[in-house]
Structure formats: C-alpha cells, structure tokens
Structure 1
Amino acid sequence: MNILSQLEEPNVSLLAGTALAVLAVGGLTMRSTKSKNAPAKPRKIHKPLTTLPILGNSLDAIRTAERFHDWLLEESLRVKHEPWSFKIIGEEETLILTSPEMIEEVTSAQFEKFIKGRYQIDLTSSFFGMGVVSADGERWYHQRKTVVRFFSAKVLDAFMRHSVNKNIHRVYSIMDDTVAKNDSIDLKRMFHDFTVETFAEMGLGVELNCLGAEKVHPFQEGLEAAGKVVSLRFRRPEWAWKLQSWLNFGEEAVLTSNMKTVRKWLHEVVAQAVQSCIDKKKSGETTSQVGKSIIELFMDHSEDDLAGLSQEDLAEFVLTLIVGARDTTADALTWFFHLLGKHPEVEKKIREEMATQLGDVVNDKDVYLTTEHTKHLVYMEAALKEAMRMYPPIPFTFREAAEDAVICGDIFIRKGQKVVIPQYTLARSPIHWGPDADQFRPERWIDPETGRVKQESAYKFFNFSAGPRMCAGMSLAYLELRLLTANLLKRYRFEMDPNNDGSYDMAVTLYMHHPLMAKPIPLQ
C-alpha cells in the first residue's frame, strides 16, 4: 500500500546523533543498582559482546533492525538463557528473561511489581488508547473484569460461530473464482481480511465487506500503517520519536493521521450502534441471541456490572479487540499455511486424520465443519500449536518494574527497569523444547500415552501470556483457527509460491514480510 511506503527505518545518523544530543543536554545519567533489597550475591547479568561504551548496543539495534527477534535468540543461546541486558543510548537498560521460572515470577508470583509502565503506555496508547492492553492498576482491573465477562458470554461464542460460518462461505466463493481464473491468491491478505471482518462484526455488529474487495477498507489500511510506526518506536530512542510526534513530522505524522481516520470511523460506528440499541429498547424490539455483538452485550448490562466503563472505553475496548484479534489470528494462520507448504508430509497427515475421524463428511463439499468435527482432529490441533510455537504472533512482551524486585532468589531488577520476555526466543530454545526446537514437528504436542494434545505450561508456551493478564480471547481465537483451517483443507490444497523465504517484518505482531501467494486446487 502506498501509505506504508512513507515509513522509514531508523538509520545510523539518527542513532549516532542521539549520543551527541544526549551529551549536549547534560550527559548520560547512570542509575545505581545498589539497593537495600538487592541480594548479597546477585546473579550476573550478561551483555552482548558487541556492547560499546556510551553507545551501548545502539549499533546492534541498527545492524539487526530487520532480524531483531533472531538477534535476541542468538544472544540468549550464547548465554545459555541466563538473564542478559542491552542498552540503547538515551534509554533505560532492558533486561531479557527467557526461562519459564523467570517468566512465572514476573507475570504471576510478583505480578503487582511488574506493570505495563509509563514507557510501554507511552509507546502504545496512541494506537490502542487506554484500553485493557495499555492500562495498569485499578483502570486495568475494572476493564479486565468487564472483558472477561464479555468473552465468557455464551451468546458471544454463538455469534462468533455464526460469523465465522458466514465468512468461510465467502472465502469459498473467492477461492472458487480464483480457481476458475487459474490464478493465485495472497493468503496473508485474505486471512487478515477474514479476521478483521469477523471481529469487527462481533465487536460492532457491522460488516466491513473486506473479503474479496479490490480496495482495502480505510479502517484496516489505517491500522496497518499505524501499527508499523508503533513497532518502530520500540527500536528508537524515546526522545527521538517523541520529538517527531511533538513536531508532527515523518513516521509520527503518519501515525497521527491514520489513527485519526481509524478513531473517527470507530467512534461514529460505536455511536450509531449504541443509538440503535437504545431505539430498539424503546420500541420493544429484541435481537436474537445468535446476533448479539459486544455493543449489544454492553448495552444489556447495568452500570454497576460495567464497573464504570464509558462509551469512550467501549470504543477503545472494541479497537483493542479488533487490532489484537485481527493481527494475531491472521498471522498465526499465515505462518501455519506457509509451514504446510514447506512440509507436505504434515498436510498429508492432517488429511488422513480428517478422513479417518470424520468419514464421508470430508468428501461432501456442502458440509461445513463445526467445532463438533474439529474437536476430533488432534493432529491438526498439534500442527496449529506447533506453528504458533515457532512463529508466535506476539514475538515479545514488555514489562516495567514498579519497585525494586528480586526474582528466582538472585536476579535483581531495579525500579523503572524494562523487562522483555521474547516469545520468539523462548519458543526456539533447545533447553526448553529439545534439540529439534528449530524444526516444525507437530508430534511433540501429542502425548504418546493418551493420544491427546499436551497442555504445556503457559510460562513455556507463552503465546497467550500468563497469569492475571492471560489473553481473555484465547478460546475464541482457537475457535477461528480450527474452523478456518479445517474447512479450507477439506476443500482445497494449495500450491505455495516457492520464492517466499519466510522472512518477517518488524511490527507489533510477527508479520510475514512477503505476500503468501498460493494457487488453490479443489479436492472435490
């Protein structure tokens, strides 16, 4: 898209100039790690061998800009998953934690001590707003409580199934048109269109008509452009992007402009949906339980139930839902089908399982597979989890120490220090997943004794986070993954573009760099 071409990667002059700017305004301030709470013998915190005086790892950030997740992996393997840190000039030191024990301490055992923090809120609030993703403290607690109530509602689950069913049949039409033209389709684009269509309908009760559209919806285009800018913020000195934002130029101007478009459209739709609910109540009209969106569920609750959630909060919540669910689910599907193209033996086993477990249903093109069918597809479930292990949709998680803390008995973390949990690194660790951790092997997820899918610790398989901030929409995400995968593989096989090298973009999610071009071949 043209709008994305406006974005520029950070360059050497920007970060090298940072050193001069910081020194010019008073020099670098060094914070002491001494604290009365520090252990007598704190564990060593390793640093990259390329760490430089003053510049720290600023040049590493430039050098690895397009493969940052792999750099984190390489450094973690070098120090055998002991804690290590890196520093960008002008920023606080960032601590990297890559063991399940450390992750459990940060996300559960000492949850109150590790918050989103000012740094991350500043980075993401212009994108997510102050919804449940960005909030801390009481605001987070009340919003989380409401979110969990919404996601646990049976009516929302029913609406999701109804919406997925409808949109899968739209996908069938797109695939059949592509087959008739003997053409290829970009599965990455289709998966993103599918998920934004489904979750926008679930959240707002509106159809964006993204699937099969020649032109990208302005709401969706704005989110993509804005998300790329937010990802750049994570790799730039805070003062640099804040200065850009204040002056409203460069990438930050792109972010501001696009989020203005996104929020204007979103607030108009939310206001219309709320007013429609009010009008329905006044007239005595009711909505079927299958057709209730989050907006309608919101309007059904009392003010006490909603714990102070305003219409503005509702808009932020719906935005969080759409942004989070759209990208993470679509990226998971994209990497899964990419891996199937590289591993035809896995696709063959999935089809064999479908034939064995589902019988004649597999050969009837008019039968839509439901959750009653997919619950029998153990190997397919294992393959989906294995793809998400290797390519976690959220590649790393940030926290900030709200106070001095000691984890695992001897790892001291000072107040204000940034902590990163890199899911991409955790997932590819031979220490945690065995010597073949870098291999796509769904069998690792199947218990040889029970034949069922293993339930790994959330601190090891960290894709949906863990502890009090565990993803509230996990069940709905899995529902969509299973249904779309099973129904696509039931009707088509795909000849994948062999030129796709599987590289990723540095974005908020693990976004595939190239289009995932595929030629659909009907099976019936």
Structure 2
Amino acid sequence: MGGQPLLLPRTHFSSPNRKLLGRDTSSVALSWFFWLLHHNPEVEHNILQEICRIVGARTSSDRDREIKSDDDEAVVFKPEEIKKMEYLHAALSEALRLYPSVPLDHKEVVEDDVFPDGTILKKGTKVIYAMYTMGRMEAIWGKDCREYKPERWLRSSDGRFMSESAYKFTAFNGGPRLCLGKDFAYYQMKFVAASIIYRYRVKVVENHPVEPKLALTMYMKHGLKVTLQKRDHAGRHK
C-alpha cells in the first residue's frame, strides 16, 4: 500500500472484509436481477436457452458422468462454461446499471484542479456522485435508459458481450479505484444465477412490496419473497 509492505495483521483484516463486502453486494445484485427477470420473462427465456446450449455442447462422456438418468442436480458449471454465458453477463450488467449495489459514493480532491468546463476544484473538496442516477440518465444511456434491455450490452454482429467504459458504467467504480473483485463478482453471480435458472423458475410472491432501502448497500427494504417451480426437461427446452 503506497509502496510500503503490507503488515500481516492488516492482510488478515483486509481479506475477510473483501469477501464479506463481495458477498453482500453480490447477493443484493442477484435480488434485483431476479426481480427484473420476473417482470421480463423473455430475458429469462433467453438466458435459459443460452445455458441449455452450453450444457448441450458437453461431450457425451461429460454428460454420462454428470447427468445420469435425468439428474439435473448433478450439473455443475465449469469456469469455461460460465465464461461463455454472454447473454447472462449482459443481463446481470443491465441489472447493475439500473440497481447498482452501491448507489452513491464520493471522492476527495487530492490537489487543486480545473474541469474542462472551467469548474475549479480545491484540494479537500468532496465530490459526490450517484451511480443509481447515472444509470438512468438519458444523456448517458439514451431514450430507453429506464428499460431493462440486456441487448444494449451485446454486439449486433455476433452477440458477444461488449463492456462499457468504467466512467459510464460505474457499478464497479473506475480508474485506480476499480473494484478488485469485479471479475470474481461476475463469476460468482453468473454461477449462482445459472445454477438456479437451469433448475427452477423463480417467481416473486404476488403483492410482495419491492422498494429500495437506500443505504451504503442498496438492499430491498422488505427482502424478496419468491416461489421456486422445478423445471422438467421438456419445460427447459421449450
């Protein structure tokens, strides 16, 4: 840190903190993600079809080893399969755009500076920015900025995931402060989401109130109550 050796006690403190913070932000993100899927069944369908294509591409030996009879509980996604889930990656990014796990942040100016528009920033000034608001600004994301549209993250030519500038999509911060756990968070969320969607249809309980609790992390004020309907083989491949 700052070119100085990191003391062991500080390492012990830092490592579990990162795991805990990552766990909370990922679980919050997944709650909003499944709520959005409930209201956008066509997105859920596209994700499921992508997962089924990836599972279907496994070699016969893999399928024989992991899926005996019709035991879907045996399906464990491999890292290389998770990486191929481009549409799921886009759907999670779109959920984070609309409902970032951390809705508000601030930085402190370390030395006097001047913005291109002439705004003067003095050393010590606190600059507050709202990721929640930025993700819904028409000037940044276009006229459909309030729509849940994973396709905005995919290249039209080949359907591959297309990342945005960290200064436009700020859910993981940017520059030197870019979240160290970004790639792990995506892997974790994709693994959990794919494992659930492949096995179950997730439905939000009727009339369950959903609203954000604005805090350091944007939890759902009343949590998310859902029912799980197990998918059969036929339902999975409709």
What corresponds to 1:141 in structure 2?
2
The match for 1:350 among 11, 36, 47 is 47
Structure with max Cα Rg: 1
Q: Which amino acid aligns with 2:29?
A: A
Unpaired segments ≥5 residues, structure 1: 1-139, 143-306
What corresponds to 2:20 in structure 1?
323
What corresponds to 1:386 in structure 2?
94
What corresponds to 1:284 in structure 2?
none
The Cα of 1:493 is off from its aligned counterpart by 1.0
Q: Which amino acid aligns with 1:476?
A: F
The answer to whether structure 1 residue 513 and structure 2 residue 221 are counterparts is yes
The Cα of 1:489 is off from its aligned counterpart by 0.9
The Cα of 1:455 is off from its aligned counterpart by 1.5
What corresponds to 2:140 in structure 1?
432
| Aligned 8 A contact 2:100 2:218 in 1 | yes
CA deviations on 1:291-350 (whole Å, 9 max, x unpaired) are xxxxxxxxxxxxxxxx43223312320243133212111111111111111111211111
The Cα of 1:447 is off from its aligned counterpart by 0.7
TM-score w.r.t. length of structure 1: 0.40
| Aligned 8 A contact 2:107 2:128 in 1 | yes
The answer to whether structure 1 residue 504 and structure 2 residue 212 are counterparts is yes
TM-score w.r.t. length of structure 2: 0.86
What corresponds to 1:408 in structure 2?
116
Distance 1:355 1:322 in 2: 30
Unpaired segments ≥5 residues, structure 2: 58-62, 233-238
What corresponds to 1:312 in structure 2?
9
SS in 1 for 2:84: coil
What corresponds to 1:495 in structure 2?
203
Structure 2 counterparts to residues 48-197 of structure 1, below 5 A: 140-142=1-3
Distance 2:208 2:144 in 1: 23
Distance 1:340 1:464 in 2: 22
What corresponds to 1:369 in structure 2?
77
What corresponds to 2:235 in structure 1?
none
What corresponds to 1:291 in structure 2?
none
SS in 2 for 1:481: helix
Q: Which amino acid aligns with 2:131?
A: Q
The match for 1:462 among 160, 165, 170 is 170
Aligned residues: 221
What corresponds to 1:441 in structure 2?
149
| Aligned 8 A contact 2:98 2:132 in 1 | yes
What corresponds to 1:417 in structure 2?
125
The Cα of 1:364 is off from its aligned counterpart by 4.8
The answer to whether structure 1 residue 335 and structure 2 residue 19 are counterparts is no
SS in 2 for 1:375: helix
| Aligned 8 A contact 2:153 2:161 in 1 | yes
Distance 1:337 1:515 in 2: 12
SS in 2 for 1:520: strand
| Aligned 8 A contact 2:104 2:216 in 1 | no
What corresponds to 1:137 in structure 2?
none
RMSD value over aligned CA atoms?
Answer: 1.9
| Aligned 8 A contact 2:210 2:223 in 1 | no
Distance 1:507 1:318 in 2: 23
What corresponds to 2:60 in structure 1?
none
CA deviations on 1:39-89 (whole Å, 9 max, x unpaired) are xxxxxxxxxxxxxxxxxxxxxxxxxxxxxxxxxxxxxxxxxxxxxxxxxxx
CA deviations on 1:61-118 (whole Å, 9 max, x unpaired) are xxxxxxxxxxxxxxxxxxxxxxxxxxxxxxxxxxxxxxxxxxxxxxxxxxxxxxxxxx
SS in 1 for 2:31: helix
CA deviations on 1:230-286 (whole Å, 9 max, x unpaired) are xxxxxxxxxxxxxxxxxxxxxxxxxxxxxxxxxxxxxxxxxxxxxxxxxxxxxxxxx
Q: Which amino acid aligns with 1:141?
A: G
SS in 2 for 1:141: coil
Q: Which amino acid aligns with 1:343?
A: N
Q: Which one has the bigger helix percentage?
A: 1
